[in-house]
Structure 1
Amino acid sequence: MEHLPDKNSSYKDVAYWDERYTTEQHYDWLGGFSKFQHLLEKIIKKEDSILILGCGNSGLSGDMYNAGYHAITNIDYSSVCIGLMSARYSSHPGMTWHQMDVRQLSFPDASFDVILEKATLDAIMVEEKSPWEVTPETLCFIHQALTEISRCLRPGGRFVSITFAQPFFRKRLYARTEYNWSVRHDSYGEGFEYFVYVMTKGEQLSPEDAALENKLLEEFKSQPTSIPTHQDEDDNDFLSNINL
Structure 2
Amino acid sequence: MIDGGDSGSEGEEVLEVDWVSLETNLSAETLESLRQHLQHQDGATVAAPSSAEERAAEAEPVSAADGSSRSGGGSTSPTRNAGLVALPASNLVYKAKEYWDSRFSEEESYDWLASYADIAEHLHEAVPRDARVLVVGCGNSGLSADMYDDGYRRVDMVSTDFSAVVIDKMRAKHLAARPGLRWEKMDMLALAAEDASFDAVVDKAAMDALMVDKGDPWSPDRATIEQSHRMCAEVSRVLVSGGVFVQLSFEQVHFRRKFLLGEHPAAAGLLDARRQGEDEGHSNDGEGGGPYGWDLQVHDIQREGGCFGQFLYLLRKR
CA contact (8 A) 1:187 1:195 kept: yes
Map 1:96-115 onto structure 2 (within 5 A).
Answer: 96-115=182-201
What is the rounded CA distance, in whole Å, between the counterparts of 1:2 and 1:200 in structure 2? 35
Do 2:190 and 2:231's aligned partners in 1 also have CA atoms closer than 8 Å? yes
Tell me the residue number matched to 2:109: 26
Identify the match of residue 164 of structure 2 among 47, 55, 79.
Answer: 79
Aligned twin of 2:281: none
Counterpart of 2:198, as a letter, is F
1:70–1:93 contact (8 Å) kept in structure 2: no
Pick from 262, 276, 291: which aligns with 1:178?
291
- 2:142 aligns to what? 59
Instruction: State the distance in 1 between where 2:120 and 2:142 align.
Output: 13
Which residue pairs with 2:310 in the alignment? 194
Tell me the equivalent position of 2:9: none
Give the secondary structure class of the aligned counterpart of 2:243: strand
Q: What percent of counterpart residues are identical? A: 37
Inter-partner Cα distance in structure 2 for 1:4 and 1:18:
16
Residue 168 of structure 2: SS of its match in structure 1? helix
Q: How far 1:130 sits from its partner (Å)?
A: 2.3
User: What root-mean-square deviation, in Å, do the aligned CA atoms of Structure 1 and Structure 2 show?
Assistant: 1.1
Give yes or no for contact 2:196–2:238 (8 Å, CA) kept in 1.
yes
Q: Deviations over 1:7-34 (max 9, x none)?
A: 1111111111011011111111002211
The corresponding residue for 2:51 is: none
- Aligned partner of 1:164: which letter? F
The alpha-carbon deviation at position 129 of structure 1 amounts to 2.9
* Mapped contact 2:215–2:221 kept (Cα < 8 A): no
Find the aligned partners of 2:114 and 2:137 in 1 and give their Cα distance.
15
Structure 1 residue 43 corresponds to structure 2 residue 126: yes
Report the structure number with the largest CA radius of gyration.
2
Work out the CA distance in 2 between the residues paired with 1:174 and 1:31. 20
> 1:133 aligns to what?
219
Structure 1, unpaired ranges of 5+: 203-244
Contact 2:114/2:310 (CA < 8 Å) preserved in 1? Answer: no
Deviation sequence 1:143-185 (CA, Å, 0-9, x none): 0111010000001000011101111111111124220111111
Q: CA deviation at 1:86?
A: 0.7
User: How do 1:155-234 and structure 2 match up within 5 A?
Assistant: 155-176=241-262, 177-190=290-303, 191-202=307-318
For 1:137 and 1:24, how far apart are their aligned partners in 2?
30
Question: Which residue does the alignment assign to 2:238?
Answer: 152
CA distance in structure 2 between the partners assigned to 1:48 and 1:137 by the alignment: 33
Separation in structure 2 between the aligned mates of residue 200 and residue 16 of structure 1, nearest angstrom? 33
1:105 deviation in Å?
0.5
Equivalent-residue separation in structure 2 for 1:117 and 1:147 (angstroms): 14
SS across alignment from 1:179: coil
TM-score by length of 2: 0.62
Note the residue ranges of structure 2 that are not aligned, 5 or more in a row: 1-83, 263-289
Q: CA deviation at 1:128?
A: 2.3
| Contact 2:133–2:200 (Cα < 8 Å) also in 1 | yes
- Report Cα offsets for 1:71-125 as digits up to 9, x if no partner: 3201100010000001111121221011111111011000100001011000111
Question: How far apart in 1 are the matches of 2:248 and 2:199?
Answer: 17
The number of residue pairs the alignment matches comes to: 202
Give 3-state SS (helix, strand or coil) of 1:39's partner.
helix
Letter in 2 for 1:199: L
